[in-house]
C-alpha cells in the first residue's frame, strides 16, 4: 500500500517508486499523478478505482475484494493511494481486509496533502512565532449533527493551527462554529485547491468572510483548508505559484521510456505535463545487419551512435554474444549529444567525440576532421533518420556502413484530440513525432491553433512548419533539457 503524495510526482518516496517499478498489478486512485502510474512496468496490469464526490468507479467493498483476488493470484500488487494511505483515507480498512484474508502486506507512507498543500502555498503549518500546535481534522463530518466526534470548543484554540481535510461542503458552517467557540472573526483562513499541482489555487480570507467568499465563488474539491495565524506568512513564503511555467499544461509527445525525465523537469518549473507518447521503439525488420555489424565492431575506425536507442540496441546484441566493451578494441566512439554520451558512459565507454551542435551535419564535420580517406565508419541509427550524416561522410571519401538499429513507429494515443485540447503547449522532439501527430488527428492544424508549439531543434521545427503548424519556440540546445530551458525563457509563456 503506497502513498502517492498529493499530486506532484516528485513527492513520491524512493521506496514507493521502487515497488511501483516492480509491480505486477497497480490499483490506483483519482489523485495518483499520471507520471507516477507510468512508472509501472509495461506488462503491469493497471486498474483505476478512483473516487470523486458522487462518482465512484468501484465501491469500497469491491476494491477490497479486488485487492484480495489479485494477491491470491500470486501477483505483486501495489495499491496506490493519494497522499498517505493511513491519513483520512480508507487505507486502514483495506489493510484490515487483507489481514482478515491472510494476505501479507506492507505500508509505504506518502506525503499527506495537509502538510504539502499548505507548504506549496507558502503556509507552514507550524512556526514558533505563530502557533504551539497543529491539528489535522476531517471536515467531512456535519458540524450540526447531534453525536459529533469533534469537540469544536477545544479545536477553536488561539495559537493553534487547524488543517481541515474534505471540508468544502461544510466549511462555511465550520467557520461559524469556530467563531461561536471563541476564535475571532479576523482569524485568517486559506483554502488550497489542487495542492502541489500546476492547477493549484489559493484563496485567503478570514473566518468572518469565508462564507460569503464561497457563496460568491465556490471551491470544488480536492482542497485543504488551513485556519490560524500562520496563513499570514503566505505573502512572504509563497513560491510554487511564482515558478516560471506555473499553471501551464504541456503536451509531452516523446516515447514513454524517454518522457519521464522531461516531464519531471516541467513539473519543477511549475507546469503540468500531459503524457502522449506518439512513437514507440521497435526492433529493425531485419536483425541480421546488427548481428553482422556488432560481430565486426572492432574492425571499424569509428562507431557513431545517433541516439540512446542505438546504444541500447548495440549493447543488447553485444551482451547476447557474451561480450562487453572490450570487443571494441581501439575503435573510437562518436555520440551525437550528451544524453547519448551518458548512455555510453553507463556502459563504461567514454565518447571520443561529441559535436557542439547535436545534429548529423555537425557530427559529419567533426569526423571528417578526425579521419582519413577510406577509413571505415559504422553508423548505428534509426531507420527513419536523415541521410545528411552518411552522405557528407561518403562525399568526403570515407567508407560508411549504415545499420538500422531500431525503428520509431507510430504509437496510437487514446483521446489524443482531448489531450491536445487540454494543453497550452505542444512539444515535439523529432520529425517522426510530428508525423505521428499529424496522422492521428483529423485536422492537426486546427487542433494546434492557439497553442504554443515548441520544437527541440530546427530539423523538428521544419517538419512542424511543413505540416502547417505555427512554431513559436525552438531550443538552441537540441536536448530535452534545452527544450525545457527554452520554454522557461520564452516571453510568450510569461
pLDDT tens-digit profile of 330-340?
899 999 989 89
| Distance (Å) of CA 231 to CA 72, 129, 238, 370, 392 | 48, 12, 11, 63, 64
CATH topology of domain 2-111: Cobalt-precorrin-4 Transmethylase; domain 1 (3.40.1010)
Q: Which of 8, 15, 24, 29 does the annotation list as catalytic?
A: 29
Tens digit of each residue's pLDDT (9 = 90 or more) over 441-457: 999 999 999 999 999 99
Task: Scan for cell 541500447, then name that residue.
Answer: 312
Architecture of the 114-242 domain = 2-Layer Sandwich (3.30)
Q: Does the annotation mark 15 as catalytic?
A: no
Domain assignments of the chain as residue spans, ordered by start = 2-111, 114-242, 249-278+411-493, 283-410
Please, is 91 exposed, middle or buried when counting C-beta atoms within 10 Å of its C-beta (0-12, 13-18, 19+)?
buried
pLDDT for residue 141 is more than 80 = no
Q: Is the pLDDT of residue 147 over 60?
A: no
Cβ–Cβ under 8 Å, residues 313 and 340: no
The mean pLDDT of 352-378, rounded to a whole number, is 91
Residue reference for cell 472573526: 185
DSSP bridge partners of 282: 407
> pLDDT per residue over 172-217, tens digit each?
999 999 999 999 999 999 999 999 999 999 999 999 999 999 999 9
What's the confidence (pLDDT) of residue 422? 96
Q: What is the pLDDT of residue 145?
A: 59
Cβ atoms 347, 305 nearer than 8 A: no
Q: 45 forms bridges with which residues in the sheet?
A: 25
Res. 54: pLDDT tops 70: no
Q: What is the pLDDT of residue 144?
A: 63
CATH topology agreement for domains 249-278+411-493 and 283-410: yes
Residue 236 has pLDDT above 90, yes or no: yes
CATH architecture of structural domain 249-278+411-493: 3-Layer(aba) Sandwich (3.40)
CA distance 192 to 118: 7
Active-site position among 51, 75, 229, 391: 51
Per residue in 304-314, pLDDT (tens digit) is 998 889 999 99
User: What mean pLDDT do residues 451-471 have?
Assistant: 96
pLDDT, tens only, 10-49: 999 999 999 999 999 999 998 788 889 989 998 999 999 9
Banded model confidence at residue 55, pLDDT cuts 50, 70, 90: low
CB atoms within 10 A of CB 158: 12
CA distance 173 to 150: 14
CATH 1.10.260.40 fits 283-410, yes or no: no
Of the pLDDT bands very low, low, confident and very high (cuts 50, 70, 90), residue 56 is: low
The CA distance from 85 to 2, in Å, is 7
From CA 175, how far away is CA 179, in angstroms rounded? 6
296 is catalytic: no
Phi/psi at 13 (nearest 5 deg)? -75, 160
The number of residues making up the chain comes to: 494
CB 422 within 8 A of CB 250: no
Cα(139)–Cα(152) distance, rounded to whole angstroms? 11
Taking the CA atoms of 312, 314, 318 and 321 in sequence, report the sign of the dihedral they define. Answer: positive
* Buried residues in 318-354 as b, exposed as e (16+ CB within 10 A): beeeeeeeeebeebbbbbbbbbbbebbeeeebebebb
Q: Which helix (H) or strand (E) element contains residue 213?
A: helix 210-216
Show the cell assigned to 113. Answer: 496533502
Half-sphere exposure of 365 (CA within 13 A, CB side): 9
Question: How many Å apart are CA 94 and CA 325, to the nearest integer?
Answer: 50
Neighbours of 73 (CB within 10 A): 11
Could you give the 3-state DSSP secondary structure of residue 119?
helix
pLDDT above 70: percentage of residues in the chain = 97
CA distance 90 to 79: 11
What's the whole-number average pLDDT of the chain?
A: 92
Nearest to 33 by CA among 91, 87, 82: 82
pLDDT computed for residue 360 by the predictor: 86
Amino acid at each position: 500500500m503506497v502513498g502517492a503524495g498529493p499530486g506532484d510526482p516528485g513527492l513520491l518516496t524512493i521506496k514507493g517508486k521502487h515497488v511501483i517499478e516492480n509491480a505486477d498489478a497497480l490499483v490506483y486512485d483519482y489523485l495518483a499523478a499520471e507520471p507516477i502510474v507510468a512508472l509501472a512496468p509495461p506488462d503491469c496490469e493497471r486498474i483505476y478505482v478512483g473516487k470523486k464526490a458522487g462518482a465512484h468507479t468501484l465501491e469500497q467493498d469491491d476494491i477490497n475484494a479486488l485487492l484480495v483476488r489479485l494477491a491470491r493470484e500470486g501477483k505483486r500488487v501495489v495499491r496506490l493511494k493519494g497522499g498517505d494511505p493511513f491519513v483520512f483515507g480508507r487505507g486502514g480498512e483495506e489493510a484490515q481486509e487483507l489481514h482478515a484474508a491472510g494476505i501479507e502486506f506492507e505500508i509505504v507512507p506518502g506525503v499527506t496533502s495537509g502538510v504539502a498543500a499548505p507548504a506549496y502555498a507558502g503556509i507552514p503549518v507550524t512556526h514558533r512565532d505563530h502557533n504551539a500546535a497543529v491539528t489535522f481534522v476531517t471536515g467531512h463530518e456535519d458540524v450540526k449533527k447531534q453525536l459529533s466526534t469533534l469537540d469544536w470548543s477545544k479545536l477553536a484554540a488561539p495559537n493553534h493551527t487547524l488543517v481541515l481535510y474534505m471540508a468544502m461542503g461544510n466549511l462555511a458552517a465550520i467557520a461559524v462554529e469556530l467563531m461561536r467557540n471563541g476564535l475571532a472573526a479576523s482569524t485568517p483562513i486559506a483554502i488550497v485547491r489542487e495542492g502541489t499541482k500546476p492547477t493549484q489555487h489559493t484563496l485567503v480570507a478570514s473566518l468572518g468572510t469565508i462564507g460569503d467568499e464561497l457563496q460568491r465563488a465556490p471551491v470544488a474539491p480536492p482542497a485543504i483548508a488551513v485556519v490560524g495565524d500562520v496563513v499570514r506568512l503566505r505573502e512572504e513564503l509563497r513560491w510554487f505559484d511564482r515558478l516560471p511555467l506555473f499553471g501551464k499544461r504541456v503536451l509531452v509527445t516523446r516515447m514513454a521510456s524517454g518522457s519521464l525525465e522531461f516531464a519531471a523537469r516541467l513539473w519543477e518549473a511549475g507546469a503540468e505535463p500531459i503524457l502522449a507518447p506518439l512513437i514507440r521503439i521497435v526492433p529493425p525488420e531485419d536483425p541480421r545487419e546488427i548481428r553482422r555489424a556488432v560481430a565486426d565492431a572492432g574492425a571499424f575506425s569509428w562507431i557513431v551512435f545517433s541516439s540512446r536507442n542505438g546504444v541500447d540496441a548495440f549493447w543488447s546484441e553485444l551482451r547476447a554474444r557474451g561480450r562487453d566493451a572490450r570487443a571494441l578494441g581501439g575503435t573510437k566512439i562518436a555520440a551525437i549529444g550528451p544524453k547519448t554520451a551518458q548512455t555510453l558512459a553507463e556502459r563504461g565507454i567514454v565518447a571520443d567525440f561529441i559535436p557542439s551542435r547535436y545534429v548529423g551535419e555537425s557530427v559529419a564535420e567533426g569526423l571528417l576532421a578526425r579521419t582519413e580517406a577510406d577509413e571505415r565508419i559504422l553508423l548505428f541509427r534509426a531507420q527513419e533518420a536523415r541521410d545528411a550524416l552518411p552522405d557528407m561522410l561518403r562525399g568526403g571519401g570515407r567508407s560508411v556502413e549504415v545499420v538500422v538499429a531500431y525503428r520509431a513507429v507510430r504509437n496510437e494515443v487514446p483521446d489524443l484530440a482531448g489531450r491536445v485540447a487540454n494543453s497550452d503547449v505542444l512539444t515535439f522532439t523529432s520529425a517522426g513525432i510530428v508525423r505521428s501527430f499529424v496522422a492521428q488527428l483529423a485536422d492537426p492544424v486546427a487542433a494546434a491553433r492557439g497553442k504554443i508549439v515548441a520544437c527541440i531543434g530546427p530539423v523538428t521545427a521544419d517538419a512542424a512548419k511543413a505540416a502547417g503548424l505555427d512554431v513559436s519556440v525552438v531550443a538552441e540546445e537540441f536536448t530535452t533539457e534545452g527544450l525545457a530551458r527554452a520554454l522557461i525563457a520564452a516571453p510568450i509563456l510569461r
